[in-house]
Structure 1
Amino acid sequence: MAQDWIAFVARHRIRATTIIVILLIVWKFASPAVPRESARHESQHLGIGLLLVVCGLALRTWSAGTLRKHQGLTTTGPYSIIRNPLYVGTFMMVGGFALLANASAVVWGAAGACLAMCICAVLHEERILSTHFGNAWLHYTRATPRFVPRRLMPRNSTWTLQEWVRNREYQAVLATMAGLSAIIVWDAF
Structure 2
Amino acid sequence: MRGETTRAMAAFQSSRRYVLAFLVGIICVLLIFGGSLHDELAHERIESFGLAFILVGIGGRLWSILYIGGRKSAELVSTGPYSVTRNPLYFFSTIAAGGVGAQTGSLVITALSAAFCATAFYIVALREERYLKAVLGAPYLAYLDRVPRFLPNPRLFRDQEEVTFRPEIFNRTLLDGLVFLVSIPFFELVEEGQELGIIPILFRLF
| Structure 1 segments unaligned to the other structure (5+ residues) | 1-7
Partner Cα distance (2:169, 2:16) in 1: 19
The answer to whether residue 125 in structure 2 is matched with residue 122 in structure 1 is yes
The answer to whether the 8 A contact 2:50-2:102 is kept is yes
Cα gap change, 1:172 to 1:158, in 2 (>3 Å) = farther
Partner Cα distance (1:81, 1:185) in 2: 38
TM (normalized to structure 2)?
A: 0.70
* Deviations 1:113-156 (CA, angstroms, capped at 9, x unpaired): 32221111111001111111111101111221111222254422
Structure 2 equivalent of residue 177 of structure 1? 181
What aligned pairs does 1:24-103 form with structure 2 within 5 A after superposition? 24-31=27-34, 38=39, 41-68=42-69, 69=71, 70-103=73-106
Q: Rg: which structure is higher?
A: 2
Partner Cα distance (2:88, 2:59) in 1: 10
Runs of 4+ in 1 over 6 A off after TM superposition: 8-11
Match of 1:133 among 123, 133, 136: 136
Cα gap change, 1:159 to 1:172, in 2 (>3 Å) = farther
Cα gap change, 1:13 to 1:113, in 2 (>3 Å) = farther
How much is the aligned-residue C-alpha RMSD, in angstroms? 3.2
* Deviations 1:53-106 (CA, angstroms, capped at 9, x unpaired): 111111111111211324311112111111100010111111111111235554
Percent sequence identity over aligned pairs: 22
Cα gap change, 1:85 to 1:122, in 2 (>3 Å) = same
| Structure 2 segments unaligned to the other structure (5+ residues) | 1-10, 194-206
Structure 1 equivalent of residue 19 of structure 2? 16
TM (normalized to structure 1)?
A: 0.75
Match of 2:113 among 110, 127, 152: 110
